[in-house]
Amino acid sequence: MAFAPSLNRLIDALRCLPGVGAKSAQRMAFHLLLREREGGRHLADSITTALERIGHCRQCRMFAETELCEICRSERRDGRTVCVVESPADVMAIEQHTDFRGGYFVLMGHLSPIDGIGPEELGLDILRDRLDAGEIGELILATSATVEGEATGQYVGDLARDRGVAVSRIAHGVPVGGELEYVDAGTLSQAFTGRRPL
């Protein structure tokens, strides 16, 4: 059965979201048209506004509506301690679940030569300039525990160490409340390798 062209465009547009396939997009489109037309208008307006106004902080690359994001502007943060993360979602997780009070540098991805993502695409020229200027005293690597995340962390760590900046890596291992018999081999191995004295 053929749908109206506008409905087909809406379904196709919704499929650009992560984890949304054809059926989910169709369900969302029908929901908006059947029960949430006002919510749909608000959603469309919010998306348009965000796409027009939100750019990147010139210092940390986090999403921002101004030249510097709120974290980089804050005088209550220690800008000499910088945590390197792969995405804005990582910043949100750290902010919500820790008491970290330093700054960030958001890579917006990780090194992946096979996908054509090198240091330039990750904004490492900006980080290199900050390191060269002596703005950073410690770099905390919080990249993912994947092969790409580890390679990215190693590359960024080398940049910092070459400039005499202290480098640390967040711990990886058994989650709080986790039972050893259910932990995967890689996590358990990292937990043993990264153990520390009590």
Confidence band for 1, pLDDT divided at 50, 70 and 90: low
The overall average pLDDT reported for the chain is 91
Whether the per-residue pLDDT at 184 is higher than 80: the answer is no
C-alpha to C-alpha distance for 162 and 160, rounded to whole angstroms: 5
* Residue 103, C-beta contacts closer than 8 angstroms, at least 6 positions apart: 59, 60, 71, 72, 77, 78, 79, 81, 82, 83
Q: What is the pLDDT of residues 95-111, one digit of tens each?
A: 998 999 999 999 999 99
Whether residues 35 and 82 share a domain: the answer is no
Whether residues 38 and 102 share a domain: the answer is no
Structural domain includes residue 27: yes
Whether the per-residue pLDDT at 177 is higher than 90: the answer is no
The share of the chain scoring above pLDDT 90, in percent, equals 75
What is the tally of structural domains in the chain? Answer: 2
Residue at 160: amino acid letter: A
Structural domain includes residue 31: yes
Q: Which of 79, 31, 42 is nearest to 57 (CA)?
A: 79
- Phi, psi torsion values for 142, nearest 5 degrees: -125, 40
Whether the per-residue pLDDT at 198 is higher than 60: the answer is no
Global pTM reads 0.84
**Residue 15 is part of a domain; what is its CATH number?**
1.10.8.420
The mean per-residue pLDDT over the stretch 129-153 comes to 93
**Residue 23 sits in which domain range?**
5-53
Whether residues 49 and 98 share a domain: the answer is no
Q: Which of 22-31, 137-146, 176-185 shows the lowest mean pLDDT across its residues?
A: 176-185
Whether residues 157 and 103 share a domain: the answer is yes
